[in-house]
Structure 1
């Protein structure tokens, strides 16, 4: 059973009362009327676009289906969760492939943020001509580190091995 791209709707006749939210799939099937058609052990709310698993329940009525596609399976792989790392596609659940280039870019961004926070006060002191020689030397070292980070290219980072082999510059001490 599958309800594709479920949305809220407002039926003319409300068999479950006024205080109930009603849902239907893009082909017009009512969520509540479809509940008995779900026969497999686990029901999943997945993103209609990516297939990312966002909710899992044994009781389909426990799901909030608005904005999702609702599917079902008999078994879940070990470790499956709703953290955005698992997807449902063609009846199968699998881990979302890691984009190692994005992982590298996020790490660089984090290192740049940390470095910029480190040098912020020194930059202000330099502009005000209040910086000590020692801090000026530290600022120079940290700015060289920042430049090294910015000059890194990650276009060839396609696997965990490539990611682990990245020669990250050393932080100044």
Structure 2
């Protein structure tokens, strides 16, 4: 099933993106207009760190999820699977 990126953002259809707007989710609607979201350097670093952490969690979760689904996971793997899944939300 296809998904949308970035997650939890608006979906719009344009023939051409407005000047300075990218597909990376660095925009928002303000009234009828699409405007760029201005972020500070610190905010950008935090966003990058969060994305990296989530990607790392996904890499850890995938094989554990397979083991759990196939009912071949040992107790430590089940605990790790549950902890990594919780990590994504906290």
Give me the TM-score of the superposition, normalised by structure 2. Answer: 0.51
The Cα of 1:98 is off from its aligned counterpart by 4.7
Partner of 2:75: 133
Take 1:144 and 1:98, find their aligned partners in 2: how far apart are those partners? 28
Q: Can you give the 5+ residue segments of structure 1 that lack an aligned partner in the other structure?
A: 1-48, 51-96, 149-173
Take 2:70 and 2:89, find their aligned partners in 1: how far apart are those partners? 23
In terms of fraction of residues, the more helix-rich structure is 2
Partner of 1:104: 46
Query: Which of 57, 62, 76 in structure 2 is aligned with 1:120?
Result: 62
RMSD, matched Cα: 2.2
Partner of 2:88: 146
Which stretches of structure 1, 4 residues or longer, exceed 6 Å deviation after superposition?
Answer: none
Partner of 1:19: none
In terms of fraction of residues, the more strand-rich structure is 1
The structure with the largest alpha-carbon Rg is 1
Q: Can you give the 5+ residue segments of structure 2 that lack an aligned partner in the other structure?
A: 1-18, 21-38
Take 2:53 and 2:76, find their aligned partners in 1: how far apart are those partners? 23
Take 1:141 and 1:98, find their aligned partners in 2: how far apart are those partners? 31
